[in-house]
Every structure is written in structure tokens, then in C-alpha cells.
């Protein structure tokens, strides 16, 4: 047996599978069961792995599964001695084969592996490394990154870290959506203001311009529609609806004026003098897409300001981006036009009322793609508008050329995008298939996620109502400082602030990643900053506790006999540490970073139970103290490695 392994429990699992397969081959050579799966029993009194294969054999041979289990037990027990980590094999229950681990040898393997591999422990490398692009965040440069975008950033960063640790060549990309009405809207307001220098953080400043400009134009539009409706017979219901919407926007305007009085009054004055703001916004949109130099300079200027704010936010959150990809480049370099020309050559594009449409349903049926892409046979895929009547393209149209650009640089592309974009991502895949890129479409993964909810708050960027990622980080760090000060009043103030930054930001990131991506995150401070259970502070505190024990112990003995660890709590902790690599493989293969968060919390639970019940430094013998210190060190290493995968720092003091 090797002295170390990247996957100790995987070694045990492999030995069990081999032993079971050989026993079955000897007894039932004509029976083939694939794959050979083993499960962890609900109670360790039934061993560490269990197989239900006897029930499958019984169906094939029309025999009693318990009798089959007894035959396999006898055969396996005779050969078990040649497998270093298997202590015994037993037939139990109505026909289960249970495998019991040799705890002494297994503990030695697990703890030596963690200590020797250290920063690489648990990161089992793939046998088929790929080039992977993870596109995440990609918030439009029109207002600050809000907490919903924050979930995207945290999930995308965790996927990047996990896949890199698995041995893939991973690059994180940010798609700068600078083409569209929203950018034209800010350009209009920004120009009216004389392209002012930002006051405060640049993305917050640009967000204020966007919200105010949009609000004032919406009020103007609604007033015009209301005036027309009032002069139209029988339009009483429309008048009531328009008045209700106008009242809401007037209320929003009052809030924006109170928050940004100078910007509001200046924009109100300028927009009031304008003859046709909507026409000017539309012209800016068309000119930018056409590559008109003055408009390019204008929109790029405020976009860069906004991105500078984004970079500050992401850097504070410990999230990095390798490539900033501008949507406009794919328009200006002709890629979008070339994609459209190629699509027009297919039978899947048609024109209707001056609008160019793509028949995604026809592609799916013609090429037989529905099953491959998880679409029900009776589900119709709506058509995709490629080009508006005014000649401008839509986001998904431009995304086709961007996707092809990414696949020139990657084998697999993961788009971290909200679940509300499910249809658009499906239409994108159908467009790729229509162009002949079926393999690429299959390797384009929509990693979808749900919204973040702050109880009692509704968010809307258009209305200037959002909870920014910056605000949440500030609040989390302030609350963490209060908690750290209560728990460790003796620490210097500078140290408290450093710890609070790590704990506060870690708390937010854990809250955004630990919930299944398909579910809402309900963000409450009591849960996010709970030092007692299921939170980053709780896991970080467990790590810091392990570090504290090791500091008090001083230099550790390198020669340790793990066989002295015989308590059930010690066994449970060893097994938990040994299963980290399997949790990592599951998270990486199935793109589930929440598995790592769940694992880290479960390990912290096991460690704190162990710590409360069994002395480490004051153990009954020096040999036992050394073994328990080695166990604590393995916990420290594993907790740190798990936290690193989801982008959370593991402080040594709290």
C-alpha cells in the first residue's frame, strides 16, 4: 500500500470493488453487473461501504438475495487478507454485502496523505484535462454590481477554482455588454451632463446617471401616452393604468432627487429642453453599432469608468477575471455580420415585417436535437429575433459570434447566467447547430442560478433600486468586526479589522454558494454571520481553533502511530477527512460548488464534536496526543483546502 494517496477513501473503495468483482466472477461467472456501485451505509455499525448487488443477481437467477450474499461473504472473506484496507466483509440484512475498514491502517494512510500533500490534498487530477472558459458576472456597465450579480461572480469564481484544481486549463471571462439601449441611454445622460468626472466610486456614479436618465425619460413617455389616451374615447382603463405607472415613476424620481440632487436637477433641466430624447437615444444606439467614432469614444469612456468600479469590487471579494471581452468588438470586426450571412444561407431564417427571425423549433426538429438538449418532444422552442426593423441586432444574435470565438480557445464553455435566460441559451445552442457546430453546442453549458432575495426589498436597476455588492460587503465587515471584538477583545485593533474583512466577505461568499444554485438565496444577517453553525464564520472559526491547538503544541512529532486512534469520534473524523477527495470529484465533475460548502460545514461539525469530547494536548499518553495533533492538522489542511475552492480565506486567528 502507498504511504500517501490523493484519495484515501477512493483506495478503500477500489479495493472493495476489486474484491467483490473477483468473488462474483468465481461464484457467478455468467452474471455481469455494471457499473459496480457501492454506497456509504446510513450507520457505521454496518461498515463503511455497502453493496446491494445481491438483489440484482437474485432477479437474474431467481434466488434468495440473502443466500447469494452469504456465498459472496464466504468467498470474499477468504481473499480479504490480501487487501490492506479491508478488515472484514459481512453479509447482513436481507442481502447486503458490507465492507469494514481496517481503521489503524486507514487512519495512517489518510493522515499521512493530508500532511504530505498539504495544499494539494483532496485535489484529484483528471485523466482528461480540457481547456475551459468560465464566463461569469458579465454585469452590464450601467450600474454597480448588485448582490444578484454577486452570486454569479461567487459561483463562477468557485467553478474556476474547482476546475483548475482538477487539472484543467481554465480561464475566467467577463463579457462586457456595451451594445444596446441601456448603454445608449447612459451615453445620452452622460453627454447632457458634459461627461463629468465621477463623484465617489465610478460604477455608483454611472449607475445614478442611468437611473435618473431612465426615470426622466420614462416619466416623459408616460405623460405623452397619458395625454393621448385622455383624448381617446373609451380609453378610461388605459388612462387609469398609465396614471398608476406615472405616479410610481414620479415617486421613484423623488427618491432619486433626494439621493442625487445635483445630478437630478441638471439632467431634468437638460432633458426638459430636448425636443426628442427617445430619438436621440435610438440614434446613439444605431451609431454605436455602426462604429461611428464619436459615439464609440463616448460609450467606451463611461463603460471603462464603470468597469474600473467593477474591478475594485471584484478585487475586494477575491474574484479574478482573466479576459474582458467587449461585445462591440464582434459587431465592429464583422463577426456578427458573417454569422448572420451564414445563418441566412440555411432554411431556418425568415423575415417578417422587416424583422429577421430564426426558427429554432425547425432546427431542433430537422436535426433531431430535442432529446440531446433536454427539450420535451411536445415543447415548442420560440423563434429568435436576430435583427430589428431598424437594422440593429439583439444580444443573443451577438452572442452567437462570441460563442464561436470562445470555442476557438476552449474545449468546453460554461456560461454562468441566471435561470431566466434558459430560453435564450437554448436558442443560442440551436443557432450554433444550424451553423454546423453541434459538438460546440453540446459543450456549451448554461450554469444557471436563481435570484438573491433580501426580505422586504425589491430590486430594479432601471428604477435605481438595488442592493449593491459593495454595500453588502461593507455591512458584513462591520458586523464581523463587532463579533470579533466580542470574542477576542485582546487583539490589536488593526488585527481585528483584518480578520473582520476576511470573515465578513467570506460570510457573504459562503451564503451565495452553499445554497443549491437552482434555489433562491434568502439573505438574512442572522444566518450569514452565524458563528455557531452552517456559515463561513463557523467554518473559519473551526479552522482557527485547529490552528490554535497546533500553535500551543509547538513542534510536532513526524513519526506518529495513528493506530492509537480508536474512539468512534476519531474514526468519524478520519473518515470525514478521507472523503474530501470524493466530494471534490463530485463537485468538479457535476459542477456543484455547493457540495464543497456542505462538506466543509459537515467537517467543521465533526471536528467541533471531537474537540468538545476528547482532550488533545492533555491526552492520556504522549503517543495519543501526537496522533490527535496529527488528526487536528489534517482537519486544518482539509478545511483550508475546501474553503480555498469556494474562494474563502481560512484565518489562523479569530
603: CATH: 1.10.730.10
E strands of 469-586, at which residues?
A: 521-522
Say if residue 485 is in the same domain as residue 443.
no
Pick the last residue of a domain from 411, 426, 453: 453
Question: What is the distance of C-alpha 148 from the center of its chain?
Answer: 12
Distance from the first to the final alpha carbon of the chain: 39
Which H helix or E strand runs over 176?
A: strand 169-176
Q: Report the DSSP pairing between strands 412-418 and 444-449.
A: parallel
User: CB burial class (10 A; 0-12, 13-18, 19+) of residue 374?
Assistant: exposed
Whether 529 is covered by a domain: the verdict is yes
Backbone angles phi, psi at 451, to 5 degrees: -75, 165
Cell digits for 167?
487539472
Give residues with Cβ within 8 angstroms of 127, minimum separation 6: none
Whether 494 is covered by a domain: the verdict is yes
Say if residue 438 is in the same domain as residue 476.
no
Calpha distance 279→277 (Å, rounded): 5
Calpha distance 479→368 (Å, rounded): 55
Tally of CB atoms within 10 A around 398: 24
Say if residue 519 is in the same domain as residue 619.
yes
Whether 114 is covered by a domain: the verdict is no
Say if residue 492 is in the same domain as residue 545.
yes
Cell digits for 351?
423575415
DSSP per residue, 416-452 = EEEGGGHHHHHHHHHHHHHTT-HHHHHTEEEEEE--E
Say if residue 511 is in the same domain as residue 544.
yes
Backbone angles phi, psi at 153, to 5 degrees: -60, -45
Residue 393 carries which DSSP code?
B
Closest CA to 514 of 605, 594, 588: 594
pLDDT single digits (tens) 335-365: 999 999 999 999 999 999 899 999 999 999 9
Whether 124 is covered by a domain: the verdict is no
Calpha distance 400→11 (Å, rounded): 44
Calpha distance 227→174 (Å, rounded): 44
pLDDT single digits (tens) 487-515: 889 989 999 999 999 999 999 999 999 99
- Are the beta carbons of 589 and 132 closer than 8 angstroms? no
Helix/strand/coil (H, E, C) string of 117-129?
HHHHCCCCCCCCC
Cell digits for 104?
489503524
Query: Could you tell me the maximum CA-CA distance found in the chain, to the nearest angstrom?
Result: 96
Q: Report the DSSP pairing between strands 521-522 and 349-352.
A: unpaired
User: CB burial class (10 A; 0-12, 13-18, 19+) of residue 584?
Assistant: buried
Say if residue 418 is in the same domain as residue 436.
yes
Pick the last residue of a domain from 101, 117, 148: 101
Say if residue 424 is in the same domain as residue 372.
yes
- Calculate mean pLDDT across residues 424-435: 97
Say if residue 261 is in the same domain as residue 208.
yes
Q: What angle do CA 186, 191, 195 make, to 5 degrees?
A: 100
Whether 654 is covered by a domain: the verdict is no
Calpha distance 599→514 (Å, rounded): 10
Residue whose C-alpha cell is 467587449: 326
Calpha distance 476→455 (Å, rounded): 16
Say if residue 622 is in the same domain as residue 481.
yes
Closest CA to 638 of 599, 610, 605: 599
Mean pLDDT of the chain: 94
Count of domains observed in the chain = 4
Q: In what order do the strands lie in the sheet with 169-176?
A: 323-326, 169-176, 131-135, 412-418, 444-449
Banded model confidence at residue 314, pLDDT cuts 50, 70, 90: very high
Rounded percentage of the chain residues whose pLDDT exceeds 70: 98
Cell digits for 130?
480540457
pLDDT single digits (tens) 28-68: 998 887 778 899 998 889 999 999 999 999 999 999 999 99
Whether 463 is covered by a domain: the verdict is no
Banded model confidence at residue 465, pLDDT cuts 50, 70, 90: low
219-239 burial, b at 16+ Cβ within 10 Å, e below that, comes to bbebeebbeebeeeeeeeeeb
Calpha distance 412→408 (Å, rounded): 10
The model carries a pTM of 0.92
- Helix, strand or coil for residue 51? strand
Pick the last residue of a domain from 429, 453, 477: 453
Distances from the Cα of 160 to the Cα of 419, 437, 473, 592, angstroms: 19, 25, 22, 12
Q: What's the domain range around 13? A: 8-101
Say if residue 431 is in the same domain as residue 496.
no
Rounded percentage of the chain residues whose pLDDT exceeds 90: 86
Say if residue 559 is in the same domain as residue 633.
yes
- Are the beta carbons of 365 and 381 closer than 8 angstroms? no
Banded model confidence at residue 461, pLDDT cuts 50, 70, 90: very low
Whether 108 is covered by a domain: the verdict is no
Cell digits for 520?
433562491
pLDDT single digits (tens) 112-167: 999 999 999 999 999 999 999 999 999 999 999 999 899 999 999 999 999 999 99
Whether 1 is covered by a domain: the verdict is no
Say if residue 505 is in the same domain as residue 622.
yes
- Calculate mean pLDDT across residues 560-577: 96
- Calculate mean pLDDT across residues 233-242: 92
Amino acid at each position: 500500500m502507498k504511504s500517501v494517496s490523493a484519495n484515501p477513501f477512493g483506495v478503500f473503495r477500489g479495493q472493495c470493488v476489486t474484491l467483490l468483482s473477483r468473488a462474483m466472477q468465481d461464484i457467478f461467472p455468467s452474471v455481469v453487473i455494471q457499473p459496480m456501485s457501492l454506497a456509504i451505509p446510513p450507520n457505521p455499525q454496518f461498515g463503511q461501504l455497502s453493496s446491494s448487488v445481491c438483489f440484482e443477481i437474485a432477479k437474474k437467477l431467481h434466488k434468495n438475495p440473502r443466500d447469494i450474499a452469504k456465498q459472496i461473504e464466504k468467498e470474499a472473506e477468504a481473499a480479504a487478507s490480501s487487501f490492506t484496507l479491508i478488515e472484514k466483509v459481512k453479509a447482513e440484512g436481507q442481502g447486503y454485502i458490507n465492507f469494514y475498514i481496517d481503521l489503524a491502517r486507514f487512519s495512517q494512510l489518510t493522515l499521512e496523505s493530508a500532511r504530505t500533500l498539504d495544499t494539494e490534498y483532496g485535489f484529484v487530477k483528471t485523466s482528461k484535462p480540457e481547456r475551459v472558459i468560465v464566463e461569469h458576472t458579465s454585469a452590464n456597465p450601467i450600474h454597480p454590481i448588485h448582490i444578484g450579480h454577486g452570486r454569479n461572480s461567487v459561483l463562477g469564481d468557485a467553478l474556476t477554482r474547482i476546475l483548475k484544481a482538477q487539472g484543467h486549463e481554465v480561464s475566467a471571462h467577463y463579457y462586457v455588454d456595451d451594445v444596446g439601449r441601456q448603454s445608449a441611454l447612459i451615453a445620452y445622460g452622460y453627454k447632457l451632463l458634459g461627461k463629468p468626472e465621477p463623484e465617489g466610486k465610478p460604477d455608483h456614479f454611472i449607475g445614478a446617471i442611468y437611473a435618473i436618465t431612465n426615470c426622466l425619460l420614462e416619466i416623459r413617455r408616460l405623460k405623452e401616452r397619458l395625454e393621448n389616451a385622455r383624448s381617446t374615447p373609451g380609453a378610461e382603463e388605459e388612462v387609469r393604468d398609465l396614471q398608476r405607472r406615472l405616479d410610481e415613476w414620479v415617486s421613484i424620481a423623488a427618491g432619486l432627487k433626494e439621493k442625487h440632487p445635483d445630478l437630478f436637477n441638471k439632467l431634468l433641466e437638460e432633458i426638459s429642453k430636448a425636443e426628442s430624447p427617445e430619438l436621440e437615444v435610438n440614434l446613439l444606439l444605431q451609431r454605436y453599432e455602426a462604429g461611428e467614432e464619436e459615439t464609440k469614444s463616448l460609450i467606451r469612456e463611461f463603460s471603462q469608468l464603470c468597469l474600473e468600479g467593477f474591478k475594485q469590487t471584484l478585487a475586494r471579494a477575491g474574484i479574478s477575471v482573466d479576459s474582458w471581452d467587449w461585445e462591440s468588438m464582434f459587431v465592429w470586426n464583422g463577426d456578427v455580420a458573417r454569422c448572420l450571412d451564414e445563418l441566412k444561407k440555411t432554411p431556418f431564417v425568415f423575415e417578417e415585417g422587416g424583422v429577421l427571425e430564426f426558427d429554432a423549433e425547425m432546427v431542433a426538429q430537422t436535426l433531431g436535437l430535442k432529446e440531446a438538449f433536454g427539450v420535451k418532444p411536445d415543447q415548442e422552442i420560440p423563434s429568435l429575433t436576430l435583427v430589428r426593423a431598424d437594422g440593429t441586432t439583439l444580444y443573443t444574435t451577438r452572442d452567437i459570434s462570441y460563442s464561436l470565438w470562445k470555442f476557438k480557445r476552449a474545449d468546453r464553455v460554461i456560461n454562468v447566467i441566471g435561470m431566466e435566460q434558459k430560453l435564450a441559451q437554448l436558442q443560442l445552442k440551436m443557432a450554433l447547430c444550424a451553423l454546423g457546430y453541434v459538438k460546440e453546442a453540446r459543450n456549451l453549458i448554461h450554469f444557471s442560478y436563481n435570484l438573491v432575495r433580501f426580505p422586504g426589498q425589491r430590486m430594479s436597476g432601471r428604477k435605481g433600486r438595488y442592493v449593491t455588492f459593495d454595500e453588502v460587503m461593507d455591512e458584513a465587515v462591520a458586523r464581523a468586526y463587532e463579533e470579533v471584538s466580542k470574542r477576542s477583545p485582546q487583539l490589536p485593533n488593526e488585527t481585528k479589522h483584518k480578520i473582520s474583512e476576511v470573515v465578513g466577505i467570506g460570510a457573504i461568499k459562503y451564503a451565495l454558494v452553499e445554497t443549491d444554485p437552482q434555489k433562491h438565496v434568502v439573505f438574512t444577517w442572522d444566518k450569514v454571520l452565524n458563528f455557531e453553525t452552517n456559515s463561513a464564520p463557523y467554518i473559519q472559526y473551526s479552522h482557527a481553533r485547529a490552528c490554535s491547538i497546533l500553535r500551543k503544541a509547538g513542534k510536532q512529532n513526524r513519526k506518529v502511530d495513528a493506530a492509537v486512534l480508536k474512539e468512534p469520534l476519531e474514526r468519524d473524523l478520519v473518515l470525514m477527512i478521507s472523503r474530501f477527495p470524493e466530494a471534490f470529484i463530485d463537485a468538479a465533475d457535476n459542477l456543484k460548488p455547493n457540495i464543497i460548502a456542505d462538506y466543509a460545514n459537515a467537517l467543521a461539525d465533526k471536528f467541533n464534536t471531537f474537540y468538545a469530547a476528547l482532550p488533545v494536548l492533555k491526552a492520556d499518553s504522549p503517543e495519543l496526543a501526537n496522533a490527535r495533533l496529527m488528526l487536528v492538522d489534517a482537519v486544518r489542511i482539509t478545511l483550508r483546502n475546501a474553503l480555498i475552492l469556494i474562494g474563502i480565506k481560512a484565518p489562523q486567528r479569530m
